Amino acid sequence: MSDDPETVRQIRQLARDTRPLLVLDVDEVVLEFVRPFTAFADSKGFAFRTESFRLTGNVIERENGGIASEEAVSALLDNFFAAQEDWQYAADGAAEAIDALAQGAEIVMLTAMPHAYHAHRRRLLDRLSIPFPLVTTERAKGPAVSLLAGKREAPVAFVDDIPHNHVSVAGAYPRAALFHLMAHEGMRALLTPLPDGVSAMENWFEARTAIAEALGIEA
C-alpha cells in the first residue's frame, strides 16, 4: 500500500484491468524534462548545469554565479511544474510507442510530482495525444506500483529514469520487469550504475520492442 493517501485515492478510481500492466514514469520517459527545465531556468535568471545527476547544487544564479539555495531550486521546480504546459514536450518516439503498447496492455503513468499540478500535466498529455491514466505521487513509487498491479497474474513492466525508483519497485513488487529510459543523453551518461535486473534502453524505439516482449504482447 502506498503511504501517499492521495495516490491511493487516484489508483482506486482507475478502472480494473487484468491485462499486462505497463507503468510509466513521465519526466524524462514520456515527456522531456531536462532540456525544457534548463530553458525555463534560463528564462528566470538561473543556469542549470547538467554536470552531475542532481538538481540542487547544479542550479546557478546567473547574476552572481552563486549556487542557488535548496529553497530557490524547490521554488523554481514548483514554478516549472505550474508552467509545464508551455515548456514540456513528448520524448522522441514516446507517443507512438505507448500507443502501440496500449493495444495489448493497460498503461498507467506514475509521476513523482506534487499532486497540485495533476491537472496541468493531464492537459499537456491530452494535447500531446497521450490520453492514458495519470497518477501523481509524493512518496516512493514501489508501493504504488504494487497497488496498481493488484492480484493480477499477467506480466507487469515499469519504466523510469531514476535508479532509486527502480530499487523501490524491485523491493515492493519483485515480479515487475524494470526498464531504464532517459531522454537526455548527457544526463544519462552521469548516472550511477543501474541496480541489478534493470534493462537499460537507448530510446523508445528499442524500448518498445523490449517492453512488448516482457509483457508478452505485440507492438
Q: Tell me the per-residue interface mask from 179 to 198 with Mg ion, x by CB under 5 A, - otherwise.
A: --------------------
Taking the complex as a whole, the smallest distance from the CB of residue 25 to Mg ion amounts, in Å, to 4
Q: Do 41 and 76 form a contact (C-beta atoms < 8 A)?
A: yes
Taking the C-alpha atoms of residue 171 and residue 74, their distance in angstroms, rounded to an integer, is 28
Residue 90 DSSP code: B
Cβ atoms of 157 and 214 closer than 8 Å: yes
Q: What is the CA radius of gyration of the chain?
A: 17
Residue 134 pairs with which residues in a beta bridge? 109
Residue span binding Mg ion (CB under 5 A) among the ranges 27-35, 37-45, 100-108, 131-139: 27-35
Selected range binding Mg ion among 2-10, 17-25, 88-96, 140-148, rule: CB under 5 A = 17-25
Determine, following the binding rule CB under 5 A, whether residue 28 of this chain makes contact with Mg ion.
Answer: yes
Span interacting with Mg ion, options 18-26, 148-156, 184-192, 194-202, rule CB under 5 A = 18-26
**Residue 161 lies near Mg ion (rule: CB under 5 A):** yes
C-alpha cell of residue 110 = 506514475
| CB 211 to Mg ion: min, Å | 16
Distance (Å, rounded) from C-alpha 83 to C-alpha 95?
A: 21
Q: Which residues bind Mg ion (CB under 5 A)?
A: 25, 27-28, 161
